[in-house]
Structure 1
Amino acid sequence: MTTASLASTSRRTPLAVTISAWAVPVMVIGQFAMLAIVPVVIALVGALRGAHDRLVRWTAAAVAASWAIPFAIWQVRPDGAPSMSKDIHPGFVALIVVASAALILAIFRARRRG
């Protein structure tokens, strides 16, 4: 391996972040909003630890925040539904999908630049 190929492979966003970025909107739309915490955490931690691109880190944080807000609302409400998927407002679902799409685009932008 050449030095250039080693540098480009070490600067890539981890594959787990990319897979998680795709899994979050699929799980939220598929009515598994509570279980989406797993790919949200993987995307956030993986981006903060492994991604060198600032935009990838910021968009991963946006995905985590867009998921955490409806989760907190669901936990605080005394009359909430038994499932987060049944209690989440469609606007928050759209926000999570848009934030995940932004993360996916940021990952592909970082790969093109790297």
Structure 2
Amino acid sequence: MRTAVVVTGAALLLSACDSAPPPAPSAPPVPPATSTPASTKSLTPVRRVFDPVRVQDGVRRVLTESYLLTGVGDVSCPAGEDVVTGRVFECTVDIAGEKKKVTITVRDADGGYEVSQPEP
């Protein structure tokens, strides 16, 4: 059985299907930080990066609300990760005193991302 969990704002949507493995739960889009100020005169694209504190909060929420894990402690995500569709990076999570890693996969240019299940 396949269960998909997509988190958008305060809504939690669950659906089921019998054919494919479940996709990783998603966190709502995180408004990215920018490393250069936007200017109407500049033709240089603005680099958009994730705010690591917001990603950490989103990871914690997905682990506790979607994966229903208990004992989720500190979450540490790297700074400076670009908001680029398909980009993959890892965060470290303390779960019941054990350090685990989760993989973050950027879904779209708006900052939506998926969070994998924790791995040793």
Q: TM-score, normalised by structure 1?
A: 0.30
**Relative to total residues, which structure has the larger strand share, 1 or 2?**
2
Q: Per chain length, whose mean CA-contact separation is higher, i.e. which structure has more relative contact order (CA < 8 Å, sep 6+)?
A: 1
Q: TM-score, normalised by structure 2?
A: 0.29
